[in-house]
Amino acid sequence: MRKYFAEILGTFAMVFAGTGAIVIDSITGGAVTHVGIALTFGLIVMAMIYAVGDVSGAHLNPAVTIGFYVAGRLRGARVIPYVVSQFLGAALASLSLLMLFGNHASLGATLPAGSAAQSFVLEAILTGLLMFVVLCVSTGSKEMGAIAGIAVGGVIGLEALFAGPISGASMNPIRSLAPALVSGNHRAIWAYVAGPILGAVVAVPLWRAIRGDCDVDSILASK
């Protein structure tokens, strides 16, 4: 149960800080800035990896959980409990922001600047790159080591910096779904659910093709 509680807490922190930065930026007329929002997402994910990565892996993201399962690094029986835990954490964060600030900026919901199809493709590519990095710096289903938090948080911050103005750079179905449900703004939500999952799944064979010399014994021992 510690794994699932860690996912609840970690996902709560990520959504509360990340989407909270969007909400506060809206309330204060741009005091946080786009760069600040991108850094907030990257830094909170980095912090949660170091805080709970050795407990649950700090997935904080159903696409990452599914990617680990497809890669053979996570037992199938753990996928649904992980995703449910992530949803609970994200929903609690969105509800907390609603109570604190009201329904500003759709509670940080990700909305496409162009077409939904454009954001779908962009989210798939962004998440594929993220999943590839996660697989490369993790052991089994756990993100461990001195570089894991920096690498993963850095990729998230980087992708949010350049892609945020177009798609919101979600890379995470739950991060998009929770504020959409709580705020009532569901526009193009399918792109933010399907895109990241597709990207994470496609990243697995690419990782295998490039990093085929991974330590299989460590992976199996961690399952």
| Range 184-200 average pLDDT | 97
Q: What confidence tier does 213 reach under pLDDT thresholds 50, 70, 90?
A: low
Summarised one tens digit per residue, pLDDT across range 82-118 is 999 999 999 999 999 999 999 999 999 999 999 999 9
pLDDT surpasses 70 at 212: no
Domain count, the chain: 1
| Long-range contacts of 70-77, Cβ-Cβ distance < 8 Å, separation of 24 or more | 70/200, 70/201, 70/204, 71/135, 71/204, 71/207, 71/208, 72/219, 73/135, 73/138, 73/140, 73/141, 73/219, 73/222, 73/223, 74/141, 74/223, 75/223
CATH label of the domain that carries residue 7: 1.20.1080.10
| Range 112-129 average pLDDT | 98
Token pair belonging to 136: 């490369």
Tell me how far apart the alpha carbons of residues 104 and 84 are, in angstroms, rounded to a whole number. Answer: 26
* Beta bridge partners of residue 142, listed in sequence order: 139
- Which pLDDT score, from 0 to 100, does residue 1 have? 87
Percent residues over pLDDT 70 in the chain: 91
Name the residue range of residue 59's domain: 2-222
Token pair belonging to 102: 């009201």
- Which pLDDT score, from 0 to 100, does residue 211 have? 81
| Range 41-58 average pLDDT | 94
